[in-house]
Amino acid sequence: MRVLVACEFSGIVRDAFIKKGHDAMSCDLITSESSGPHYTGNVFDIIYKSWDMMIAHPPCTYLCVTANRSFINNPDRWKKRLDAILFVYALLNTDIAKICIENPKGVISSYIRKPDQYIQPYEHGHPDSKMTGLWLKNLPLLKPTRFVTPEWITPPSGRRMSKTHAKNPSTNNIENAKLRSRTYQGIADAMANQWG
């Protein structure tokens, strides 16, 4: 099966499908941090080739609800949110038989449609909590593979957080944003095992 993993610089999902024998390629505006088939550039340069499946991770900067406070009296951010929504809409409506759009809880639910399911890393062997929506086309719901107890940290703010979010608190920092955007290996393996 030919699998396009859009908006992925880490190669984690791409490599999980390659390990299962699929012809998979990642694509992002930045180069991949791991060796393997990768297109550096706009996904719409290559999206119309013959792909059997696409798993897309559109940037959540303007889509997630945690950023809502920064939209007050900020027309530039509203324009960027609209552009992000239109990008997701175009991905979802691409002529590829099987599609998964992955994104944290956010405004895709309000502007396009609700996700088919929410998943958590702790359902796939990672003790983190990060509610992530999956918008699916011709794919079954992703089944949990290994439940573990989530680990929490309570920073001075008093707000309970997962380890990943507590250690990398700001997505305004490029390195923190990259750390928080990586797909957990257990989720990538579940996608490759169940959808491949």
Residues of the chain with pLDDT under 50: none
CA R_g for the chain: 16
pTM of the model: 0.91
Quote the CA–CA distance of 129 and 184 in Å, as a whole number: 11
**pLDDT value at position 72?**
81
SS3 category, 120: coil
Quote the CA–CA distance of 135 and 91 in Å, as a whole number: 11
The average confidence (pLDDT) of the chain is 91
Q: What percent of the chain has pLDDT over 70?
A: 91
Helices (H), 102-184: 108-111, 163-167, 174-181
Total residue length of the chain: 196
**pLDDT one-digit tens code per residue, 69-109:** 777 888 998 899 999 999 999 999 999 999 999 999 899 99
Q: Are 89 and 124 in contact (CB under 8 A)?
A: no
Q: Are 194 and 142 in contact (CB under 8 A)?
A: yes
Question: Alpha carbon 71 to chain centroid distance?
Answer: 22
Q: Which of 179, 140, 191 is nearest to 18 (CA)?
A: 191
CATH code of 62's domain:
3.40.50.150
Q: Are 129 and 107 in contact (CB under 8 A)?
A: no
Q: Are 150 and 118 in contact (CB under 8 A)?
A: no
Q: Domains in the chain: how many in total?
A: 1
Owning domain of residue 63: 2-195
